[in-house]
Structure 1
């Protein structure tokens, strides 16, 4: 089960909110070469951050994942932007999982209201031009978590592993 490292901001009532990470990956060819260059520059901890919502309904439901990423994450443009800091088109994605991941996933707490409605409202106002290090998945995760739970700067407080 995902680890819990915060005292929940609300006990019960709201939907459970998690943060999960996966290593950044690139397609074979030039994007992979550029990612290898980034790793060689000691940027080894390049992670992609996502927000997960587990509905509080007693009826078993899927976990909903929200994340912000380049519109075409496997393109050479996206890979180059990691090193250069150029602005590229981004997109907020929503998908579902059967369960909360067992690794690289941490419970943050509970939503202050109906998390799905709150997330959809938040996403309507999220600027989708992406700039790595300035306006990327870390910023999206921090701001969505704050909107849902009130917790601030969550990405910076995650356990390093």
Structure 2
């Protein structure tokens, strides 16, 4: 069971190495029919409509911010992107990087510590080789999260393990 190896973010420690987390948020959709479809799917508790991200919390006190990496459509909320996603077409994607002041308390789990000395450098190296054409169900945020977490920690299929917990 996933809860045996995943530590809720509020109690997590990384043992002196950069800590690696996985977080989820609801998918965003353009106003109108795409947004209505997302709302209906959430009311039916369809977990496939979650957006997965990788968070790195550096062990250095000099860097208190948390770095977030995720993979998403270039035009996230456009009607064209929503229609392409729903029809299963390949669309342009982008790997995003941003910072947070702290690790979220909800919908966020510590996966483990980075196996290398600098998780940020490892993530950037990984992102430079990531194919950015997105196809939901085949090459999307779930696949990106699984691959980046494996690259950083060695943990495999983390998204599937989270979904079972």
Instruction: Mark yes or no: TM-score above 0.5.
Output: yes
Task: State whether residues 53 and 68 of structure 2, in contact with CA within 8 Å, keep that contact through their aligned partners in structure 1.
Answer: yes
1:48 and 2:47 correspond = no
Structure-2 change in CA distance of 1:81 and 1:36 (3 Å)? farther
Give the distance between the partners of 1:36 and 1:127, measured in 2 at CA: 30
Residue 14 of structure 1: aligned partner? 17
Residue 80 of structure 1: aligned partner? 83
1:112 and 2:115 correspond = yes
Give the distance between the partners of 2:4 and 2:80, measured in 1 at CA: 36
**Structure 1 ranges of 4+ moved more than 3 A:** 33-37
Residue 153 of structure 1: aligned partner? 157
Task: State whether residues 48 and 137 of structure 1, in contact with CA within 8 Å, keep that contact through their aligned partners in structure 2.
Answer: yes
1:34 to partner: Cα distance: 4.6
1:122 to partner: Cα distance: 0.1
Structure-2 change in CA distance of 1:157 and 1:74 (3 Å)? same
1:28 to partner: Cα distance: 1.1
Scaled by the length of structure 1, the TM-score of the pair is 0.86
Deviates further, 78-87 or 133-142 = 78-87
Structure 2 unpaired stretches of 5+: 8-13
Q: Which has the higher helix share?
A: 2
Give the distance between the partners of 1:98 and 1:127, measured in 2 at CA: 29
Task: State whether residues 6 and 110 of structure 2, in contact with CA within 8 Å, keep that contact through their aligned partners in structure 1.
Answer: no
1:33 to partner: Cα distance: 4.0
Scaled by the length of structure 2, the TM-score of the pair is 0.84
Give the distance between the partners of 1:157 and 1:95, measured in 2 at CA: 25
Secondary structure at the counterpart of residue 34 of structure 2: helix
1:62 and 2:65 correspond = yes
Give the distance between the partners of 1:12 and 1:69, measured in 2 at CA: 31
1:7 to partner: Cα distance: 6.6
